Amino acid sequence: MNEPLFSLKNRWFTIGVGAVVLVFVLAFLVGLVWLPRAHAQDPNATLWDAICSAAGAPARYQNPALPDEKAVYPSSVIVNSQMMGPVDAASVGRGATLALQCSMCHGARGTASAGTDAPHLAGQPPTSTYKQLRDFKSGHRPSSVMQPLATNLSDQDMHDLAAFYSQQTRETLIQHAALREEVPRLVSNGSPMRNIGACATCHSPGVARAATPVLDGLPEAYLRDQLNAFKSGRRANDINQQMRNAAHQLSEQEVDILAKYYSAR
């Protein structure tokens, strides 16, 4: 007597189901257990960490230079649109005095001298400069130059410096040479298939997103180094890993294109 096709009493159906289950289990063990463990960058990672990583779940960034209770956070700064408050004249005045010790690299008014490869701070949103100073001081953004300088700054000092630089005029090549360079597609549209958002969404001067720098006119070498730092994970003070996730997908040629484009503006 013939058994129903979809019945465990049917030998061939049972064999087929068993084969599918066996293949699934083997694929799971190889793809989510053996391979992640064999290629794990952190030898101390647990099996669960390896499985989560292979499944695409982002791991929390651990900075070994920070205390355990702070190491899992990319920044100690709580970013919001009101984090700085209004910029007043007294704060700008105090910031001008403090900025004298920064002039060797960043220029007297926040425009760095040619050849230093230091970023221009003039015209940067105050929330951006403030956050980076806080991150340098806390160690969330490592720098052999900036960390020692930021260590002795108080929170008010950092507010004042950010306020001063935000009020300075940002020099750009566009203003002087009337350049009209073609906008790279990554800047205007991003690359959605690779989970890369358009750079202009956050970094255009008119967007004024909290704690987000304006990239126009920054030195080419500085831009290239920072993109590569995000790409490799050497720099990891971006909240929610938005820059690391985007830069990780960039090719060397794309990093070069973006650095050249923004430095020429």
Residue 159: pLDDT band by 50, 70, 90 thresholds? very high
- Mean pLDDT (the chain) is 84
Model-level pTM? 0.73
Q: What DSSP state is assigned to residue 102? A: G
| Percent of the chain residues past pLDDT 90, beyond the cut | 53
Q: How far apart are CA 237 and CA 142, in angstroms?
A: 9
Q: How far apart are CA 194 and CA 185, in angstroms?
A: 13
pLDDT of residue 31: 75
What is the per-residue pLDDT across 161-196, written as a single tens digit (0 to 9) for each? 999 999 998 776 555 445 556 889 999 999 999 889
What is the per-residue pLDDT across 243-261, written as a single tens digit (0 to 9) for each? 999 999 999 999 999 999 9
Q: Count of CB atoms within 10 A of residue 64's CB?
A: 6
Q: How far apart are CA 118 and CA 105, in angstroms?
A: 6
Instruction: Return the closest-CA partner of residue 146 out of 248, 69, 222, 233.
Output: 222
Q: Which of 38-47, 182-191, 196-205 has the lowest mean pLDDT?
A: 38-47
Q: How far apart are CA 106 and CA 96, in angstroms?
A: 13
Q: How far apart are CA 260 and CA 40, in angstroms?
A: 35
What is the per-residue pLDDT across 8-30, written as a single tens digit (0 to 9) for each? 777 777 888 889 999 988 888 87
Residue 56: pLDDT band by 50, 70, 90 thresholds? low
What's the whole-number mean pLDDT along residues 129-134?
A: 96
